Amino acid sequence: MSRIFITGMGLISAIGNSVAENHLALRAGSCGIQYKLDLFPSKYAGILPFAQVPLSNDELINKLQITEKGVTRTTMLALHAFDEAVADGGLSEEDLHSFDTALVGANTVGGMCLTDELYHDANKNQDGSDYLSSYDGASICLYLQKRFGMNGIVNTINTACSSSANAIMYGAMLINNGFAKRAIVGGTDSLAKFTINGFNALHILSPGICTPFDEGRQGLNLGEGAAFLVLEKEEDLNPQGSVSGKKCTPN
Q: What is the CATH number of the domain that holds 233?
A: 3.40.47.10
Three-state secondary-structure class, residue 141? helix
Strands 242-243 vs 246-247: parallel, antiparallel or unpaired: antiparallel
Distance in angstroms between the alpha carbons of the first and the last residue of the chain: 13
Listing DSSP states for 195-225 in one string gives HHHHHHHTT-B-SSS--TTSTT---B-EE-E
Evaluate if residue 241 carries a pLDDT over 70. no
216 Cβ contact partners less than 8 Å away, ≥ 6 residues apart: none
- The answer to pTM > 0.95 is no
Q: What are phi and psi of 222, to 5 degrees?
A: -95, 145
pLDDT > 90? residue 16: yes
CA dist 149 → 154, 230, 233, 234 (Å): 11, 17, 23, 26
Residue 87 belongs to domain spanning: 4-250
Measured distance CA(176)–CA(156) in Å, rounded: 19
Instruction: Write the CB contacts of 127 (distance below 8 Å, at least 6 apart in sequence).
Output: none
pLDDT confidence of 250, banded at 50, 70, 90? low
Name residue 50's beta-bridge partners.
34, 222
Residue 238: pLDDT band (50, 70, 90) is: low
116-132 residue pLDDT tens: 777 777 677 667 777 77
The domain tally of the chain equals 1
> Is the separation of the CB atoms in 186 and 226 below 8 Å?
yes
pLDDT tens-digit readout, 37-90:
999 889 999 999 999 999 999 999 999 999 998 899 999 999 999 999 999 999
